Amino acid sequence: MSKSKKRILIFTDLDGTLLDPQSYSFKEALPALERVRQRKIPLILCSSKTRAELELYQRKLNVGDPFISENGGAVFIPPGYFPQAPEELKEKDKYLVLELGVPYETIRERLSEVFGKLNVKPIGFGDLEAEEIASLLNLSEAEASLAKKREYDEPFYLPDTFQQENIKSFQGKFKASGLVLTAGGKLFHLHGDHDKGKAAARLIQIYMADLADELLTIGLGDSLNDLPLLETVDVPVLLKKEDSSYQQEILDKLKVYKTLEIGPRGWNRAVLDLMEKYDPNAG
C-alpha cells in the first residue's frame, strides 16, 4: 500500500480513550505509544483535564509536545518548541500559552447564578474537597488535588432529583453570557466559547506555519465533548465506550474509524492500523 507523504499529528482525549475508564491505565496502548515515539510523531493530549493533571500525564507518557487543557481552554506550548512562535502567544509560567477560555472565577459565579434562579444546586469541583473528587472519579487524592486546579472550565454534576432532559433549557441561558454547557463522560462542564476543536485548529495552524510538509491529523475520542475535535481532524477515531456502545451523536454527524475495543486497547489498535496506512516511514 502506498504511503502518504504528509506529516502526522495525533490528538487524543484521555479518559475512556488513551486511559482505561476505570483504572486510568494506558498499559495496553504501550506498543502504539512506542511506535509513535520512534517515529517522532507529535502526540497532543487534548482533554477536559487541568494543566496540572496533563503535566502529570506528560511525564507518565514521556511526551514533550504541546497539550490542550480543559476542553480547549488553553494550548500550552513548551518554550522553543516552535522556532517562530506566533506573537499571540503569551508567556505563562514555563510555557507559551494560547488562551481561549474564560477565567474560572467568572464561570463559577455564572454557574451558581443560573441554576440558583430555579433553586437547583449544581455540585462543582469548587464545592468539593480533593477526597470527594477522588471518590467520585476513582482517583488518588493527589490526582484529585490536581483536578481541582481549574483555570477555564468547571466540571459539575446535578442532584439526583434533577431531570437530565431539562439540561438543554439551561444551555441557552449560559450562551447568552458567552458560556457553553457540555456533557462529558461522567460530568457536565461549563466553560467559555471554546472547545477541543477550536483549540486543535489553532494549534494545527501553528504547526503548518512551522513545517514545510503537509499535515495529516488524527484525532481520538469517545464522548460528545470530543465531537469538535473529531470534526476538525482529517481522520476521526471514535472509541467504543465501556458499555460497548458508541456516542450516537457523533455517529450521526461523522464518518469515523470505530474501534472494536474500549480504552487503551482500542486506542492501540487504531493507532497502529492508521500508522501502517499513513506513516511514510513505516514498512
Classify 262 as helix, strand or coil: strand
Please provide residue 116's backbone torsions phi and psi, each rounded to the nearest 5 degrees: -60, -30
Determine contact, residues 151/70, Cβ cutoff 8 Å: yes
Q: What's the Cα-to-Cα distance from 110 to each of 96, 184, 191, rounded to whole Å? A: 29, 19, 10
Active site residue 226: no
Give the three cell numbers for residue 258. Answer: 470505530
Question: Residue 258: helix, strand or coil by DSSP?
Answer: strand
Can you give the C-alpha Rg of the chain in angstroms?
19
- Beta strands 215-221 and 235-240, pairing class: parallel
Catalytic residue selected from 13, 20, 222, 226: 13
Strand locations in 37-152 (E): 43-45, 67-69, 74-77, 90-92, 95-99, 123-124
Cα–Cα distances (Å) from 243 to 22, 142, 222, 225, 268, in that order, read 12, 28, 12, 18, 19
d(CA 235, CA 240): 16
**Closest listed residue to residue 231, CA positions, set 269, 200, 262:** 200
Query: Residues with catalytic annotation?
Result: 13
